[in-house]
């Protein structure tokens, strides 16, 4: 099965994709990891490289891709080939708590960070979350509609698991 999971920062995309991958053994990719070459100094891949990488993944029989890079993801074949398009939309208060909790854990080195946590970064994440709620989630629905697909809105991993099992029958 080919699954795309998207949602705002702090919505649980990465956790849901990782858990789904562990339980199904389907390979899992993060659009953040496809976007950034992390070591030794973070460098952004070109849009052409990112599109080519996603299109190559899309040729696989099974995959899970998670992320919300809307500026370029619509230029890939992802929306055309995905069997299941999941939008994670937990309660906004929970998302804000997750963003703050992640920041504290990363500052205390309890949780691994692919970037240096900063106050500006925390502010950016809250701004991105508001932007997602105001505009980005509608852009995702437009991309889904253009691909003539149905989006499944989930609030937590249990909803994701049910959606996969319903669609996989």
Look at residue 148 in the predicted model and tell me its pLDDT. Answer: 79
- pLDDT (tens digit per residue) in 109-168: 998 877 788 999 999 999 989 998 888 888 887 877 777 788 888 999 999 999 998 866
Q: Where exactly are the structural domains of the chain?
A: 2-167
Across residues 80-91, what is the average pLDDT? 91
Instruction: Give the whole-angstrom CA distance, residue 101 versus residue 75.
Output: 33
Look at residue 80 in the predicted model and tell me its pLDDT. Answer: 87
CB 73 within 8 A of CB 146: no
Look at residue 138 in the predicted model and tell me its pLDDT. Answer: 84
> Domain 2-167 falls in which CATH fold?
Rossmann fold (3.40.50)
With 90 as the cut, is the pLDDT of residue 2 above it?
Answer: yes
CB burial of 49-85 (b: ≥16 within 10 Å; e: otherwise) equals ebbebbeebbeeeebbbbbbbbeebbebebbebbebb
Write down the H helix ranges in 7-68.
13-24, 31-35, 47-57
DSSP 93-115: HHHHHHHHHHHHHHHTTSS--SS
- pLDDT (tens digit per residue) in 12-49: 999 999 999 999 999 999 999 999 888 777 899 999 99
Look at residue 168 in the predicted model and tell me its pLDDT. Answer: 61
CA torsion sign for 8, 97, 18, 41 is: positive
Instruction: Give the whole-angstrom CA distance, residue 37 versus residue 19.
Output: 24
- pLDDT (tens digit per residue) in 55-82: 999 999 999 999 988 788 888 888 889 9
CB 17 within 8 A of CB 100: no
With 70 as the cut, is the pLDDT of residue 169 above it?
Answer: no
Of all residues in the chain, what percent are helix, strand and coil, respectively (each to 5)?
A: 55, 15, 30
Q: Is the peptide bond before 40 cis (omega within 30 degrees of 0)?
A: yes
């Amino acid at each position: 099965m080919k699954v795309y999971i998207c949602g705002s920062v702090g919505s649980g995309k990465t956790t849901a994709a990782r858990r789904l991958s562990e339980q199904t053994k389907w390979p899992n990719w993060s659009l953040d990891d496809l976007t950034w070459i992390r070591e030794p100094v973070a460098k952004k891949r070109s849009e052409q490289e990112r599109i080519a990488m996603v299109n190559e993944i899309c040729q696989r029989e099974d995959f899970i891709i998670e992320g919300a890079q809307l500026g370029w993801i619509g230029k890939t074949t992802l929306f055309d080939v995905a069997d299941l398009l999941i939008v994670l939309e937990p309660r906004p208060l929970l998302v804000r708590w997750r963003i703050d909790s992640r920041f504290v854990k990363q500052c205390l080195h309890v949780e691994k960070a692919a970037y240096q946590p900063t106050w500006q970064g925390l502010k950016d994440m809250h701004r991105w979350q508001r932007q997602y709620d105001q505009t980005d989630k509608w852009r995702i629905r437009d991309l889904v509609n253009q691909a003539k697909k149905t989006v499944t809105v989930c609030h937590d991993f249990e909803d994701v698991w049910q959606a996969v099992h319903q669609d996989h029958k």
